[in-house]
Amino acid sequence: MERRLTAIMVADVVGYSRLIEADEEATLARFADHLHELVEPSIAGCRGRIIKTAGDGLLAAFASVVDALNCAVQIQRGMAARNDGLAEDDQIRFRVGLNAADVVIDGDDILGDGVNVAARLESLAEPGGIWISARVQEDASGRVDVSFDDIGEQNLKNLARPVRAYRVLLDPGAADLGRRAALALPDKPSIVVLPFQSFGPEADSDYFADAVTDDVVTALSRWRWFFVIDRNTSFTYKGRSVDARQVGRDLGVRYVLEGSVRRAGERVRVNVRLIEAVSAQQIWADGLDRNMADLFALQDEITEHVVAAIEPAMLDTEAARIARKSLADLSALDCFQRGMWHFNRMSAGDYHQALALFRQAIARDPDLSLGHMGLARMLYGGAIYGWSREPVADLEEARAAARRAVALDPRDAYGYFAGAGASLYLGRHEEALEQAQRALALNPNFAFGHFRLGQVLIYFGKPAEAVAPIERSLRLSPYDPQIAPMLQLLALAHYQARNYDEAVGHAQSAVRLNDSRAAAILAASLARLGRFKDARAAYPNALRERAHAEAPRLVTYANPEDERHLRDGVRMAFLSEDGEGEPLY
């Protein structure tokens, strides 16, 4: 097959399905007019050819990059003139993507990654806009009456390597504005919370929407690994209809949170969505329907719900983005975030990879508190799950790493959370309790802070008090990757508080999620209820061996009676079978 260097143009209509649904005949007629009167003559006049059309889109090829860009500019300026005076909902607007690459000539068609790049750039362009690759910008710069806004490297769908992209500024005088708007994205995951829109006749609806926005901004700001735009800046967008991509470019953020509040009598509906600003892709959305009985309690509930969901959604997206980078290109923060991805997988292999990445993060930036925090979490994780060869030494190192993390950033709740874990597994109960409480004082919406407080309270001899914070952690992060250990801990709290029926339910849920350690609690709870046959069935030999191998060996109860209570419960489940049993805890 023949190969040829080609300038590729991909264009399609924004919101075509909506336009067709509103008025099919009129839309088809107007679209045909635009093609015949503007698009086709522009392509021919710039010495290009249409390769194919598909519904509302087209693919065209040019021998010259300058010709391709001139054509795209003619089309977009011409469409702006043709749309002038029309209601926004009636306008037909194109997005255009341009790339220059070596393509395969297959009859009348062209194929290759270069075509895919143009298509992906087109999908990122704003309505009426043109996005181009770096090669197009380099060849056309100074030769076409436009300016360029450097958007930076973009991770495009189904493409292995990032592509540097530029937005074409059709007004040459916008060059300075474009340069001012092209803020570099921070190393941290970055977000702006736009003012929630208010709908409804109630006079205080607008006030309530603003209050929720303020609370969400404040709560997100407590996460030290997020870059959050200040509320004074975000409120400059109040009452404006804005495009998420433009907001992202204006403020230099990767994520935009939008929301609305609709009141009707004593009912309120809150809708929220999180958008990846570069692609305008929605990565999370949710809605809440509530009564307005207690306005402040409702405000708190909405804030907690939104913030608890946003954190994992953003971190999952960041992990996927960072996974595309080579190790040599990773920054210290990238190393930390990739390390956390391995941490959440909780396997022996991931343990070693996470440790290496956290140590890399510290080597690249010794003052990155998150690197020390991640190292502390992984070291004590390896110690308690049996992956460490020297668990006590690793726990001491974890404690030191956590102390270093909070010394570098005393306001990071995660640092105190990590320190509480290391201290607990070293039997320093009072120190662990103090650090867990400090973590929650810094961030009351910290799901794992509540988890850690509950854990410390169990081993401190206060299991009944532990139930509430553990339930709180589940409420704040109901889809957490670590949901099984959270349920297992809740089962243990109920067991030690002598609530055996409750313990059974939570232990069963944890076992279904493959937490073998919860099987010991399930067996002990069933035995305490006199259900010995069920207890033995819940804890078969193979599972006992696996759980025994994975069990935490280092946590000691402040009150030895609590440890005996669990051991005796497990033993009771097997007395009739072997007379001894093999207690796990």
pLDDT by position in tens, the chain (length 585): 788 899 999 999 988 888 888 888 989 999 999 999 999 999 999 999 999 988 889 999 999 999 999 999 999 999 999 988 888 778 899 999 999 999 998 888 899 889 999 999 998 888 899 999 999 999 998 888 888 888 777 777 777 788 888 989 887 554 444 444 456 677 778 889 999 888 766 555 677 788 888 888 877 877 766 788 877 678 777 776 678 888 888 888 888 999 888 877 778 888 888 898 877 788 888 888 888 766 667 777 788 778 777 766 676 666 666 555 555 656 787 788 788 878 877 778 888 999 999 999 999 999 988 899 999 999 988 888 788 889 899 999 999 999 999 999 888 888 999 999 999 989 999 999 999 999 999 888 788 899 999 999 999 999 999 999 999 888 777 767 778 889 999 999 999 999 999 999 999 999 998 887 788 899 999 999 999 889 888 877 545 544 454 444 556 799 989 989 998 998 888 764 443 444 444
190-318 is a CATH 1.10.357.10 domain: no
Do residues 570 and 526 touch, judged by C-beta distance below 8 A? Answer: no
Do residues 486 and 512 touch, judged by C-beta distance below 8 A? Answer: no
Q: Is 241 helix (H, G, I), strand (E, B) or coil?
A: coil
Determine the straight-line distance between the first and last CA of the chain, rounded to whole angstroms: 69
Start-end ranges of CATH 3.30.70.1230 in the chain?
2-181
Beta strands in 524-582 (DSSP E): none
Start-end ranges of CATH 3.40.50.10610 in the chain?
190-318
Using DSSP bridges, classify how beta strands 197-199 and 255-264 pair: parallel, antiparallel or unpaired.
Answer: parallel
Do residues 315 and 189 touch, judged by C-beta distance below 8 A? Answer: yes
Start-end ranges of CATH 1.25.40.10 in the chain?
325-444
Which phi and psi angles does 321 have, rounded to 5°? -65, -45
CATH entry, 2-181, from 3.40.50.720, 3.30.1360.120, 3.30.70.1230, 3.40.50.40 = 3.30.70.1230
User: Can you read off the two tokens belonging to residue 163?
Assistant: 């592509």
> CATH for 476-585?
1.25.40
CATH architecture of 325-444: Alpha Horseshoe (1.25)
